Structure 1
Amino acid sequence: MTDTEPLPFVEAVRRSLEIEERGAHVRTALTLTCNLALAPAQLWPLLVDRSELAHWYGQLNGSLSEGGRYRLADGTQGQVLELVEPHKLSLTCEKDGEADPLQIRLDPEDDGTTSLRLTHTTLIDREDFDRYGPGAAAIHWEIAVMALASRTGGWSTCGDCVPMPTPQWLEGPDGAAHLQAWSVRWAAEALAAGVDEASARRGELATSRACQEDPPAMAGMTPEG
């Protein structure tokens, strides 16, 4: 994989990937884990309160109560499957006819912080997976986790002030460095999950190039965050 400069905000997140071949599709389960400085009860409103979500993820319409439905500005919608306050949120992300499961767990640590574990399972067209690997789907969640860390005072493992990954930040040099680093990390996860090195490298370069040409952003997030 391409070498990148050490970036503390990138290293604060742990990643894992599972891949399952399904004919014309590839099923991927992306998991991001990090430690946030707040306790689960303090973090919980940021996941289920629409006014709080608007500050770090984007505008949401609908209800984030169990059984409720929601809709985002980019057209993604879904249903809340399970709420276990303040530890577990399970819902679907529905777009382009697919209903992908998303689960977020908040587990307390002995020092009063929280271990956050986000798992998104999705079907990717074989052609898209061969071109981009898992990175195109994963970087959206990298940005989301970074935005949440920025909103909540940072990661417990990283003392630096975490910037909000607004569109303007992502288009700048720091944002570009993070987008490249995330592409590298997910190519490495693809390699560990069984993708051959040439394909993983191709996916890394294609994801990085796509991010440079059209930096991703959270749905509805304003430039001010």
Structure 2
Amino acid sequence: MGEILDEINRVHREVGTRKAGAEEAGTVLLRRTYDAEVADVWDAVTSPERIARWFLPVSGEFTAGGHYQLEGNAGGEILECVPPERLRVSWLSGPEPGFSEVEVRLAPEGDGRTVFELEHVAVVPEEFRARFGPGAVGIGWDLALLGLATHVAGGEITPEEAAAWQTSPEATAIVTRSAQEWGAAYAASGAGPEVVATTTAATIGFYTGA
């Protein structure tokens, strides 16, 4: 478990807000460095065959203006694609329309390393944000980045292994650490201690069933 906790600790997290038209959107940002070339990380996050190996199966038209659908998860439009630097997509899950976008940005760092940055900007119902804070979204992205880390390092996780891991004590420990880190990022953005404590606890419960 120590190695996976180390991967969680490698992520820098930020929480904020920005305007999305007339509404206020919440933002979560994750940044970390992978020991892989930019071209390889770019291929891992844009190739349908490789996305299925570390995240979820995906279908669609994989070009700017095309639409994609992750199996059992979000779908949307590919809004911007600038290889190998930037990918921006709408990120919609559920029948209700709304503003939600994800942008991935890559930059080389040193010899054979890549700085990976993911920002998710979304208008979230106030009652949901008040109950769970940013960790409800942030934990999901932490887990995705763990999968990407395993993949670019040459490892593979089968869907059966991933499903079994989600109910393991190790997964509970990882989710708890991730929620705590998002709580710290929330506090750094200006949230009060009581709000941070209650939203962190609610998010841990949401993911673990505790």
Aligned AA for 1:206? A
Residue 150 and residue 168 in structure 1: after superposition, are their counterparts in 2 closer, same or farther (change >3 A)? same
Equivalent in the alignment of 1:176: 172
Equivalent in the alignment of 2:15: 17
Equivalent in the alignment of 1:189: 185
Aligned AA for 2:68? Y
Secondary structure in structure 1 of the residue aligned to 2:172: helix
Equivalent in the alignment of 2:150: 150
Q: Could you state the TM-score of these two structures normalised by the residue count of structure 1?
A: 0.82
Alignment of structure 1 residues 1-225 onto 2, 5 Å:
7-19=5-17, 27-95=25-93, 96-153=96-153, 166-213=162-209
Contact 1:9–1:162 (Cα < 8 Å) also in 2: no
Distance 1:20 1:52 in 2: 32
Secondary structure in structure 2 of the residue aligned to 1:187: helix
Secondary structure in structure 2 of the residue aligned to 1:117: strand
| Cα-to-partner distance string for 1:2-58 (whole Å, 9 max, x where unaligned) | xxxx93121111111113599xx8621111011111111111221111111110110
Please report how far the alpha carbon of residue 167 of structure 1 lies from its aligned counterpart in structure 2 after TM superposition. Answer: 2.6
Q: Which has the higher helix share?
A: 2
Q: Which has the higher contact order (CA 8 A, sep 6+)?
A: 1
| Farther-moved stretch of structure 1 (174-183 vs 161-170) | 161-170
Please report how far the alpha carbon of residue 148 of structure 1 lies from its aligned counterpart in structure 2 after TM superposition. Answer: 0.4
Gapped regions of structure 2 (runs ≥ 5): none
Q: Percent of counterpart pairs with the same letter?
A: 24
Contact 1:19–1:193 (Cα < 8 Å) also in 2: no
Contact 2:99–2:123 (Cα < 8 Å) also in 1: no
| Cα-to-partner distance string for 1:158-195 (whole Å, 9 max, x where unaligned) | xxx89888232121111110100111111111111111
Aligned AA for 1:47? V
Contact 1:133–1:204 (Cα < 8 Å) also in 2: yes
Please report how far the alpha carbon of residue 65 of structure 1 lies from its aligned counterpart in structure 2 after TM superposition. Answer: 1.2
